[in-house]
Amino acid sequence: MVGIFKASTPTLLIRDPELIRDITVKSFGHFHDNELFLDKDVDPLLGRNPFFMKGEEWRTTRVHLTPGFTSGKMKWIYPLLEDVSEQLVKFIEKQCIKASDEGLDAKDVCMRFTLNNVGSCAFGLEAKCFEEDNNEFRQIADRFFTPEGWQTTKVFIVSVIPFLSKFISIKFTPKDVEEKLENIVSQTLKYRDENNVVRNDFLHILHQMMKECKDGSFTSIDVTAHAAGFFGDGYETSSVVMHFILYQLAADLDSQTKLRQEINKVFQQNDNTLPYEELQKMPYLDAVFNETLRVHPPLGSLNKVCTENYTYVPKDKSVISKPVVIEAGTTVILPLYGLHRDPKYFDDPNSFRPERFLGGNKNKIVKYTFMPFGEGPRACLGAKTIMEIVMKMVPGVLIRNLRGPWDTLGHQLKERRYVSHSGPFNTLKKSFWKNGKR
Ligand code: HEM
């Protein structure tokens, strides 16, 4: 562990995997709170997101939400994701025709895809982000997590002097965005009730929770807040990971080819479809997904607060000779990015090598050195269920239909040459193979 200062606040940076296990799992009772707290009376939507809650309130909300994320429920939602994936392939086909030398901005494509998913699964609406540039839904999403005016200064002050968060309350979500989201949700639920519409999506799950909750602890504002949680939890993180997957595959043709072989085989064996169960059983796709998260974790670190004095008794006395007391109120930082790229745990850590996560190699990874979704009772709620499906589906459908090489430039991915590979791209053959290359 290393002591550092955040402005004038002493903070502990934890590098030892065993101690990380203590903090996230074994002694979770001492470290159950995240550093950043939002008061739900000040920010009614983000303040209800478990990530920003403390103590008992966090526990109750987590218990409420967990049944909404079982793999059974995700199976319901799968057809909605398949639908958006088809839209994605069609969008890229169209863009190929339009695109000149400018190419396609992969981040933008991935953001449209994730937002359409959020629209469909969490709000029960067609977000139309492929059809329209920067439409109202995208503007709402982009502003959802963006404090304005004086609030920005407050966020800065609290992030350098966390102690002040006890006295300064922060609001991330602008008022008009809050009102628009409440409007969308209440109108959709009213329509569903009046017309007896049952759509298997996350909004339906939340609506059911509200109806079944008899003690008034889960109300319509909770439904809006948790549907909106998909913006904060799923929109930015997912599109970042997704475009890094594309970036890595574009830059590494060997991995791209291996992945395509695996994907084609599954499609062939399943009547040209990619069933939910099969998606979970593709080892190379799983390895590409994990290796991308290792190299590019969307959350670079986790900041936890010690809520009760904690004594660490080191096993290796040659490193730390006596027990260390971490005092209540101390912030501890778990440096995910640093761990993922530490040569002590990952050979040649800056290289993208999906093989690290294949077969026996996976078991050799030291526990608590790879944790893109956090660990223990407070780990990401959407990780195992939503994330794995969405993240794997995109390379699943794209790599099958598109083939590199792609020129890569920073985070922007430019497709300059498409090879007709299968399905919809046959129709594009002529326009893309003038003079043997595009
Ligand atoms: C690739 C995408 C994602 C990554 C890398 C990611 C990662 C994380 C991480 C590192 C945490 C903090 C864990 C901790 O405090 O120990 C977290 C929390 C959380 N995530 Fe995700 N996440 C992703 C997508 C999602 C999605 C799609 C959802 C569902 C809508 C989701 C729901 C949550 C929730 C509710 C929490 C708060 C959990 C709690 O404090 O109890 N995440 N996520």
* Segment 28-57, tens digit of pLDDT: 999 999 998 888 998 899 999 999 999 999
Q: Is 348 within a domain?
A: no
For ligand 1, which residues put their CB under 6 angstroms from it? 34, 50-51, 62, 229-230, 233-234, 237-238, 241, 298-299, 302, 372-374, 378-383, 386-387
Q: Is 334 within a domain?
A: no
pLDDT at 279: 86
Q: Which residues of 376-398 are buried (b: 16+ CB within 10 A; e: fewer)?
A: bebebbbbebbbbbbbbbbbbbb
Separation of CA 302 and ligand 1 centre (Å): 11
pLDDT at 258: 94
Predicted ipTM > 0.90: yes
Report the largest interatomic distance among the alpha carbons of the chain, rounded to a whole angstrom: 73
Separation of CA 156 and ligand 1 centre (Å): 23
Q: Is 185 within a domain?
A: yes
Separation of CA 95 and ligand 1 centre (Å): 32
Total tally of structural domains belonging to the chain: 1
Separation of CA 33 and ligand 1 centre (Å): 14
Report the CATH number at residue 391.
Answer: 1.10.630.10
Q: Which residues of 274-298 are buried (b: 16+ CB within 10 A; e: fewer)?
A: bebebbeebebbbbbbbbbbbbbbb
110 is in an annotated binding site: no
What's the domain range around 183? Answer: 39-294+379-434
Residue to mutate (ligand 1; options 52, 61, 380; most atoms within 8 A of CB): 380
pLDDT in tens, 151-167: 778 777 777 776 777 77
> Which has more pLDDT, 310 or 165?
310
Q: Is 111 within a domain?
A: yes
DSSP at 327: P
Residue to mutate (ligand 1; options 31, 37, 233, 332; most atoms within 8 A of CB): 233
Q: Is 351 within a domain?
A: no
Residues pairing with 324 in the sheet: 312
Highest mean pLDDT among 175-179, 237-241, 357-361: 357-361
Least confident of 19-33, 130-144, 328-342, 351-365: 130-144
Q: Whose CA is nearest to atom 22 of ligand 1?
A: 380
Work out whether the CA dihedral 12, 17, 20, 26 comes out positive or negative.
Answer: negative
Q: Is the pLDDT of residue 428 over 50?
A: no
Q: Is 359 within a domain?
A: no
Question: Which atom of ligand 1 is closest in space to residue 122's alpha carbon?
Answer: 30
Q: What's the pTM? A: 0.87
Q: Is 227 within a domain?
A: yes
Q: Is 9 within a domain?
A: no
Strand ranges (E), 249-401: 302-305, 310-312, 324-326, 331-334
CA gap 307, 170 in Å, rounded = 21
